Amino acid sequence: MRLVLVGPPGAGKGTQAEHIAKHYRIPNISTGDIFRANVAERTSLGEIAKSYMDEGELVPDDLTVAMVRDRLGRDDTGGGFLLDGFPRTVPQAESLSSMLDELDVPLDVVLKITVDDDEVVRRLSGRRICRSCGRTFHVEFDPPGTEGVCDACGGELYQRDDDKPETVRRRLQVYREQTKPLVEYYENRGLLRMVAGTGEVAEVTKRAIEALEQPVA
C-alpha cells in the first residue's frame, strides 16, 4: 500500500497515520515530524524550516521534495509507505509522481480526513506532545494519566510553537489556498477517498481502513 494522507491541520492525520501504518505494516513518513527532528537537532535544514513553521507557512517545495526523495529512497519503503503531510501543494504532487515513476511504482490511494475549523482549533489548542517519544495527547480528548507527563515513556509533554491561535489561523488559511487544490488534483486521477475525522480515534481508524479497502472506481 502506497498512500498519502491529506487534511487540514489538526484533522488527526498524525494520530491516524500511526494506526493505519501499523495495520498495513508500512513506514509512516511525516514531513512535519522530519522537519521538527531537524529543528531539535539544529541542522541547517531545521534552521530554515523553523522560520517557516513558526509563521504557519509552508517550507519551500525544493527543500521539502529533496527531503522526501531521500526518505523514499531508503530500503524500508519497498513494501509501501504512508506519507503524512506530503504532498501539500500541486507542484509537490507532481514531484511525487515523478519520483514514483522513477521507482516504477504507483500511488495507490489518497485519503482525505475532514473536520471543521472549530474542531481544528479545539484540537490544536489542547494538543500536547512528548519531547522524548513524540506521542501525541490532548488535554481533554486524550489526556495523559499525570498532567505534563507521557504515559508511554515518562517524558515531558510540550505544546508545539505553531499551535498558538494566530499561527493556527494562518495554517488554516495556507491549507485553503495551497493544499485544497490537491484534493481536486487527486480526485481527477481517481485516487481520492474521504473519511470524516470526528468521533473516537478507533472509530475514525475503522472508517479510514474501510475507505482504503474500497476498490478504485
- Annotated active-site residue 88? The verdict is yes
The reply to whether 11 sits near ligand AP5 by the rule CB under 6 A is yes
> Whose Cβ is closer to ligand AP5: residue 47's or residue 104's?
47
Interatomic CA distance for residues 3 and 28, integer angstroms = 10
Of 2, 50, 112, 123, the one binding ligand AP5 (CB under 6 A) is 123
Catalytic annotation present for 13: yes
Build a one-symbol-per-residue string for 67-106: x at contacts with ligand AP5 by CB under 6 A, - elsewhere: ------------------xx-x---x--------------
Q: Which is nearer to ligand AP5, 85 or 216 (CB)?
A: 85
Site for ligand AP5 contains 127 (CB under 6 A) = yes
170 is catalytic: no
Instruction: Check if the beta carbon of residue 98 is closer than 8 Å to that of residue 21.
Output: no
Q: Give whichever of 26 and 58 is closer to ligand AP5, judged by the CB atom.
A: 58
Q: Give me the DSSP letters along 134-149.
A: --EEETTTB--SSTTB
65 binds ligand AP5 (CB under 6 A): no
C-alpha cell at 108: 495507490
Q: Is 9 in the site for ligand AP5 (CB under 6 A)?
A: yes
Query: Binding-site residue total for ligand AP5 (CB under 6 A)?
Result: 35
> Segment 192-211, which members bind ligand AP5 (CB under 6 A)?
199, 201, 204
Q: Is 64 in the site for ligand AP5 (CB under 6 A)?
A: yes
**CB closer to ligand AP5 out of 86 and 186:** 86
Question: What is the Cα 75 distance to its own chain's centre?
Answer: 21
Please report, as ranges, the residues that interact with ligand AP5 according to CB under 6 A.
7, 9-15, 31-32, 35, 52-53, 56-59, 64, 85-86, 88, 92, 123, 126-127, 136-138, 141-142, 162, 171, 199, 201, 204
**Residues annotated as catalytic (active site), given as ranges:** 13, 88, 127, 160, 171
